[in-house]
Amino acid sequence: MRPPELNDLLKKHVIGQGPAVREVAVALYKHLVGHTTGNILMIGGSGTGKTTIMRAVEGLLRDRPDLAEFGTVVRMNANLMADLASRGLQSTAVLDKLAIEARSRLGDRAPREAVKRCVEHGIVFIDEVDKIRSHVGNQPNVSGIVAQESLLTLMESERQAVQLPIVSPTGTLGRESTVIDTGGILFIAGGAFEELYDQVFDRVTAGGKNPPYRLVTKADGSVERRIVFQMADHLAHSDLFSYGITPQFLARFDSIVTLRALQAKDLITIFKEVPGAILPTSQAYFANYGLELVVTPEAINLIADKATDNPRLGARALKEVFARIMRELEYDPHTSPYVKKGPSGDQLVLDLAAVKGLLPG
């Protein structure tokens, strides 16, 4: 599969982040063909799709038996890695986790060399990488410095020893030390970098420069003027250095991908259509009460527009808005005035007026 094919498969699960998905598709293609792989740093607020992208990669590799050698994927939290780094265990923990995952995927009877190849072609997703800053304010962050340095060593294509889990002919589980070439491991690090957003915004608007006002199309097609600041349009390496990412660590990432704030139309798709979407999940819940949940298009537009009031929360803002609407209805829907007789049974109907009444404030 070439990058366009990989992109088509991944973007089915990721809404509103086309450039980011294309970058990941190229990196994944390089990884699969054995080309020198460029690691990826993803910067995006909560709910913009970092974890969704990683899950899409996992799912793609899991569903293709011919890619089994490249399907060993592990996720690790940067805070945990900082703690391990302070005890000199970070590199060992990452490779051990890859080895355990590879053995689990291949089965107990898989040959040692097959497990080794899966480790050497694994993918490591590091979440909350923004938490391992080299400094916070004017104070050095020792654990962050150590974590970046330890990860840097692991990402520099060095050969390192790992204890591969093996099963003897008698069925006994054991360990065998093996040297792993880490040069083929793809690292994808992601973080919200919340303070970075404010830092870049302040730099761009310093000296009395006007904030970037734009005309924004709402879900119902109307237009309003609002500040729309896309950090991707203004981010510089110096901003990341000032934030606390060291130049040496940043140099290990070939691609810096900045996820954009989701628009109302993106949120509507997430609300209705993606796997595990909010609306069908809620409809399944109310089916237990013998009710068909109906949310009108106008009501969905309002929910999406309310979610865009908190653009830095992304899809999580959508969930929060909908949770406020449904709080009392989920407790006892049959006492609600919104239950009506439908053509095929009782319906819980949320139209525009109902949603306005259910949203506090």
pLDDT in tens, 165-186: 777 666 677 788 888 888 889 9
pLDDT at residue 219, rounded to an integer: 67
pLDDT surpassing 80 at residue 84: no
Res 18: pLDDT: 92
pLDDT at residue 272 is higher than 70: yes
Measured distance CA(331)–CA(254) in Å, rounded: 50
Q: In terms of CATH, what superfamily is 3-258? A: P-loop containing nucleotide triphosphate hydrolases (3.40.50.300)
Whether 252 and 305 have beta carbons less than 8 Å apart is answered as no
- The residue-averaged pLDDT of 319-323 equals 95
Mean pLDDT, the chain, rounded, equals 87
For 204, phi then psi, to 5°, come to: -70, -35
User: Helix 18-33 to helix 3-10 angle, to the nearest 10 degrees?
Assistant: 130
Largest CA distance in the chain: 75
Q: What is the pTM of this model?
A: 0.83
Contact by Cβ (8 Å): 274, 9: no
Distance of CA 163 to CAs 68, 106, 273, Å? 21, 16, 44
Looking at residues 253-272, what average pLDDT do you find? 91
205, pLDDT greater than 70: yes
CA distance 261 to 46: 10
List, by residue range, all CATH 3.40.50.300 domains of the chain.
Answer: 3-258
β-bridge partners, 341: 346
Where do the DSSP E strands lie in 221-301? 223-227, 253-258, 292-295
CA atoms of 223 and 242, how far apart (whole Å): 37
Q: Where in the chain is the domain with CATH 1.10.8.60?
A: 264-358
More confident residue, 320 or 71: 320
Q: What's the whole-number mean pLDDT along residues 134-158?
A: 84
What is the CATH code of the structural domain delimited by 264-358? 1.10.8.60
**pLDDT-above-70 percentage for the chain:** 93
Residue length of the chain: 361
> In one letter, which amino acid is 239?
D
Specify the pLDDT at position 87. 73
Q: What is the DSSP letter of 308?
A: T
CA distance 45 to 23: 18
| Residue 107: predicted pLDDT | 81
Cβ within 8 Å of residue 156, ≥6 positions away: 182, 252
The helix (run of H) or strand (run of E) holding residue 126 is strand 123-127
H or E stretch at 238: helix 237-243
Q: What is the CA radius of gyration of the chain?
A: 24
Please say if the pLDDT value at position 356 is more than 80.
yes
Asked if 187 and 41 count as a contact pair (C-beta separation under 8 A), the reply is: no
> CA–CA separation, 283 vs 276, rounded Å?
12
Q: What pLDDT is stored for residue 26 in this prediction? A: 93
CB atoms within 10 A of CB 13: 18
Count CB atoms within 10 A of the CB of residue 290: 10
Coil, helix or strand at residue 317:
helix
Between 54 and 82, whose confidence is greater?
54
Taking the C-alpha atoms of residue 106 and residue 186, their distance in angstroms, rounded to an integer, is 20
* Dist. CA 197–CA 133, nearest whole Å: 15
